[in-house]
Structure 1
């Protein structure tokens, strides 16, 4: 259901067939149809303050013949990706995540940051059951909840309290179009998504913490 290919600075999650993807990605936000989700690893030198990031990314995608993809930007090494899957009844969820917490935040507060502080959590999760648009929106909230729970349990402390995420997180939720109307915590879909995303982000957070020791 999801094939992963690493070709630094790119990380690719490719689906067997095109899926409807919901995200707030920089190049294809909202609902779109895609066969793959890409990570692009970046460094401060790649993104100077006066750079038109949208144009830069468009050029990068055209140059590498990848303009069809939904793209997530990260300063976390893409080699540190985590892939997890979870099954509930006959429903499978697969999650690919990279986790950096150098610009972690506590919800409802902001910590002053400088240009060296950018990290992010990027999550792509797919399910093998057809969803309505409303159910896919609900599924995205489950993924966000799982991400937040994993970050909180990682115990990263800030002046404002325990971190709940970063200022640049992005989640892409992929699913076939279908008639399933619900994907909340009481559903098998929600259980599978929640477990896959939680496990991936939790492991990624611990990997990041160890890398800072």
Structure 2
């Protein structure tokens, strides 16, 4: 999924005696598609990707409700349109396995920046992902978890589930354990970009003079802009 660089993928395949079955792309950014040409030199496999992004190597262009059938693996992935980070961004969802591959839309503890889409599009995309079963494993494309959770704690300093999560994720990193995948349930409990409709979050932003309205998209927009400059 989203091979920005072919080398580590080829190395892992060789180490485990595996062969590539398919390539899944969520959007067109170079750090997600850069390894595709080298992988296709070694393996003749289908390349699934968003219909509207015009990625040259995509052999099966997909959109909302389509199914990506991965040959040889008995794996069907339903496509969910999630514009925001880019206009054509898609996610891949397996109900059978409780897997969500969501690229740069939903992160552990955060969400992607808005390069092409609008705040309303991103908010709607995240709302859509939040309707998936809470046990769904969230495989995002970048591991920014601890930085995201530091910001989340600024937004919700009294969220005890968030406090517990920060300790847990820090412990994982201290042991060299990845913090991805997350789950939809955990994100709904601790990720401010899935919780922007909570009244106390609007109160927090208003108390800091960031917004003057509790309108949900205004709250989401303010959260995203605050995160953009947060250090």
Greater helix fraction, Structure 1 or Structure 2: 2
Same fold (TM over 0.5): no
Q: TM-score, normalised by structure 2?
A: 0.26
- Compare relative contact order (CA 8 Å, sep 6+) and give the higher one, 1 or 2: 1
Q: TM-score, normalised by structure 1?
A: 0.28
Larger Rg: 2
